[in-house]
Structure 1
Amino acid sequence: MKKMVITRNIEQHYREQIQAIVPDWELIVGKDKNIWQEHIKEAEIIAGWKNGLEEYCLDPHAKLKWLQSWSAGVDYLPLEELCSRNIYLTSANGVHANPISETIFALMLGLTRKIHTYVKNQQKKTWHHAQMGLEIHEKTIGIIGVGTIGKETAKIAKAFGMHVLGVRHSGKSVDYVDEMYTPDQLDMLLPKCDYVVVTLPLTKETNQWFGAEQFKQMKASAFFINIGRGEIVVEADLIQALFEGTIAGAGLDVFETEPLGTESPFWEMENVIVTPHTSGSTEHYDQRVIENILIPNLKAYLSGKIPPINLVNFSKGY
């Protein structure tokens, strides 16, 4: 009997939906290692990755043929090994468009309208204007990485009457983006932006991509938002840019080292909002992964096709 392992705790009705598609397979579901450990080498399909799984599913005798990631980013996975074994890898890209775009605007609005400052003042029972004065309407936003998240962010930006600039490899136009640039044109985009939003995946090309040179190209009044990956930014250069006033502030959900260490200057900066890598968290996460990605991919796989949704290109790293 073939086996499928889901290393997550999912609601019973989702389990029943999946089992109905693979009625002749043994379906093993649960976050606890003790539930799936004895089955993992026999699993042809695994949904959800856990640290240490490579010991089992990349064993020469393992039967894994397709791995469905429960996250959009796949930089933490053993990509070279999966590629060398011709294992299909599909991501959860697209699940996060709504919650992350909401977080992006929460950070942008929070910094613009000084909500983080007022929350601190409320805790101290301090009535103070805090030099409030900025608006987000009619400003220019640069979205670095116009994928699913970037497109939704651009759509929301137009509701504020914003001028939207975007960066994507192809340079092809997208709805709600007024001007599209390619990565080698970043230096043309940055000086125009009041907000720079990074939504990129972490790859060999994007690693340490944003450093001192990029921050110097930005307006002194601009805000920097990063919900992609912390390693995309040279963190020491960002800290220096914030201390020196090279840029106005930052909203950061991701960091080079997580959890963010208590010694990090980010915690104490008045012009920074820190969130603990939660921009993609949502009540609808499992539903979207299972119903929009896993089940359609599973049906395709069972019919002999390559899983079509979010198939990772190993050479690109996403």
Structure 2
Amino acid sequence: MVQPLFLEPVFQERIWGGKALKDQFGYEIPSNHTGECWAISAHPNGPSVVKNGAFAGKTLIELWDQNRELFGGYQTKVFPLLTKILDANTDLSVQVHPNDEYANEYENGELGKTECWYIIDCKEGAELIYGHNARTKEELNNMIEDEEWSKLLRRVPVKPGDFFYVPSGTIHALCEGTLVLETQQSSDTTYRVYDYDRTDDKGNKRELHLEKAIDVSTVPHTDANLHIETASVPGADITSFAKEEYFSVYKWDIHGQATFTQDKAFQLFSVLDGDGSMVVDGQAYPVHKGDHFILPAGTGEFTLEGNVSFIVSHP
């Protein structure tokens, strides 16, 4: 019998992290500087472990390597996606990510990092950095050298429910007071452009990667052209945020009961809010805010019940 694979999140402490992951989702976090919940991860820097069923105790890396049939025989060397929840208690560094070709050449075969953000919650007046105002690489280089940050960086106001697509090459940063669900390529490569001259508890600044950052930045910046649409089906509203090269991302709002068919190689689910259940092959699995799971290949028809909201993705 095909079962959903519920996963144990992995927590990462960060200089900019806080305790929103505990306050909002009830997670047991390692400290009040916890920045990231790696919710669905087969990255070696923080692999998820299966909590239920025949594969309990196995990491997602092991499943990908040994049980590829669960993923429809999907043909990539590594599990392609990574789902995170990020608590930007203070500003993240201004950064940029490489594409696949650059990361493969300069980062030991790592994937590039195209990502997207769903704003779960944010403080009043919150914003993020998305893109820049330089017209040429030379101008980008000069503005960075001269530390003309207010002139260079584009700041965008945000509110809960907003969605941003962040392709590799986009200069960006989450800013103070935002809680975000991130769907990304399975990569941990980040080039820091600016870190507000912060120091750690030993007085050391974090490393910048200016040469690589300028190398990979898209100049001039162009905004992603998204076509966000919501469709109603019996028992649910389905919002399509992105159908892009590396992933498709949706929000499913269930109110009552809705039946679907899992016809993808596999699908990733994160419970944003509410409680309910998923019924597969007559077996009911409770789902609660903060749960994360994978629906494997061959799941077929399944039913979601309750008042519950998910972010759903697939490669």
The TM-score normalised by the length of structure 1 is 0.28
For the pair shown, which has the larger CA radius of gyration, 1 or 2?
Answer: 1
The TM-score normalised by the length of structure 2 is 0.28
The structure carrying a bigger strand percent of its residues is 2
The structure carrying a bigger helix percent of its residues is 1
| Structure possessing the higher relative contact order (Cα contacts under 8 Å, 6 or more residues apart) | 2
